[in-house]
Amino acid sequence: MRYFSFVVLLSTLLFACTNDSADEPNAVECGLTDVSFKTDVMPIIERSCSYQSSCHAGGASNGDFTTFETLKVDLDNEKFATRVLQKKDMPPSYAPEDRPRSLEDAEINIIQCWADGGYQNN
């Protein structure tokens, strides 16, 4: 009987822990959901890249990411995709403490879907 109780307890513990991870917030499946620059991508950029006094604020020499039109320069020359989607080193680790120092997987996924869709200004 003790062996049976042990097996039941062990099985319960194993099955209870098999799906502890939560779904990523705002995860998007490309093709199933339209990714909007205005509602999906721009909030990520504003929070992580183009806030006041950041590297990509209005008129910044590193690239101005405050509007689609000014961001388009770095989209066209592929600097944005290289740093954000390939190297994944933006935002940098030295960003202010009150700002993200990396993008979450869900945010990278949203930006990747937007890139796959041709960087639409929608």
Tens-digit pLDDT string for the chain (122 aa): 554 444 444 444 444 444 444 444 455 678 767 899 999 999 999 999 998 878 899 888 889 999 999 999 999 999 999 999 999 999 988 888 889 999 999 999 999 999 999 999 99
Place of tokens 């992580």: 48
Would you list the DSSP string of 49-66?
TSSTTSTTSTT-TT---S
Element (H, E) at 11: helix 2-16
Can you give the pTM of this predicted structure? 0.73
What is the domain partition of the chain in residue ranges? 36-104
Place of tokens 């039109």: 69
- From the list 67, 22, 59, 64, the residue with the least C-alpha distance to 41 is 67
